[in-house]
Amino acid sequence: MNAQQKPTGSAYFLSNIEQETVFRTLSVVVDNEPGVLARVIGLFSGRGYNIESLTVSETQNERHLSRITIVTSGTANVLEQIKTQLERIVPVHRVVDLDQKAKELGYEKPIERELALVKVKGEGNDRMEALRIADAFKAEVVDANRDHFIFEVTGRVSKVDQFIDIMRSLGAIEICRTGITAMNRGSDGIWGK
């Protein structure tokens, strides 16, 4: 998306002190009200931040809270800005950097999962091969007739990527992915203990 490598803001960044770009998964808890997603997305596009993946859904209906999971990339400075800028949005309750939190908890990464639907059209050997691969990936057949399957595959992003790659060579004609949803291990919730 709006790729921007440099730090934000000033027209006076003449120096290119290159900082390493890293990926981060953020969990953003927001009031579920009209326009809240537009505020979050508008912040990213308006300030030139990257969105690699974004998912959103109401998670606590009694409190009208939604949880947005955003995978973003940037230098440490940019990531710090993204977090504080998000926290400025009035209906945003909390922004948790899941990667940072995972490290604090002693894990390498948070748990991240994605679901994909993959429609594969084919005949003969390719069709059999697709079924075998699906089985190996524990993908489920959710629809089929004599010349197509729709597989549902869930798991880590790398697994979904790999599955889709293989299916491409076996006649995948339509692919749809949910984007990443994520949380941290351990008994603490997003609000803490």
Partner 1 sequence: MTGTEQETSADEHQMTGAEMVLKALGENGVKHVFGYPGGAVLPIYDEIHQQDEIEHILVRHEQGAGHMAEGYARSTGKPGVCLATSGPGATNVVTALQDALMDSIPMVCLTGQVPTALIGSDAFQECDTVGITRPCTKHNWLVKDVSELSQVIHEAFHVATSGRPGPVVVDIPKDVQFATGTYVPLNKAPSRKSYRPAKTGNSDSIHQAIELIKNAKKPIIYSGGGVINSGPEASTLLRDLVKLTGSPITSTLMGLGAYPASGKHWLGMLGMHGTYEANMAMHDCDVMVCIGARFDDRITGRIDAFSPNSKKIHVDIDPSSINKNVRVDIPIIGDVTSVLEDMVRIWRADASDLKEERLADWNAQINQWRARNSLAFSDNDDVIMPQYAIKRLYELTKDKDTYITTEVGQHQMWAAQFYGFEEPNRWMTSGGLGTMGYGFPAAIGVQVAHPDALVIDIAGDASIQMCIQEMSCAVQHGLPVKIFILNNNYMGMVRQWQQLLHGNRLSNSYTESMPDFVKLAEAYGGVGIRCSKPSELDDAINEMISVDKPVIFDCNVATLANCFPMIPSGKAHNEMLLPDEATDEVVANAIDAAGAKLV
Residue closer to partner 1, measured from CB, 80 or 143: 80
Among 81, 154, 162, 178, binds partner 1 (CB under 8 A): 81
Q: How far is the CB of 135 from partner 1 (least distance, A)?
A: 46
Candidate segments 78-86, 124-132, 154-162, 183-191, binder of partner 1 by CB under 8 A: 78-86
- Give the Cβ contact number of residue 91 at 10 Å: 16
Distance (Å, rounded) from C-alpha 56 to C-alpha 189? 18
Give the helix/strand (H/E) hosting 73.
Answer: strand 65-74
Helices H / strands E in the chain, number of each:
5, 9
Candidate segments 19-27, 85-93, 113-121, 132-140, binder of partner 1 by CB under 8 A: 85-93
Distance (Å, rounded) from C-alpha 151 to C-alpha 134? 7
**Interacting residues with partner 1 between 87 and 116 (CB under 8 A):** 87-93
- Give the Cβ contact number of residue 66 at 10 Å: 21
Determine, following the binding rule CB under 8 A, whether residue 48 of this chain makes contact with partner 1.
Answer: no
Q: Tell me, by CB under 8 A, how many residues bind partner 1.
A: 30
Q: From residue 155, how far is each of 52, 161, 179 by CA, in Å?
A: 17, 10, 11
Give me the helices (H) in 36-123, please: 36-46, 76-88, 98-105
Distance (Å, rounded) from C-alpha 130 to C-alpha 107? 35
Q: How far is the CB of 105 from partner 1 (least distance, A)?
A: 24
Among 15, 61, 145, 187, binds partner 1 (CB under 8 A): 15
Residue closer to partner 1, measured from CB, 87 or 123: 87
Q: How far is the CB of 117 from partner 1 (least distance, A)?
A: 31
Binding site for partner 1 (CB under 8 A): 7-15, 17, 30-31, 34-35, 38-39, 42, 46, 77, 80-81, 84-85, 87-93
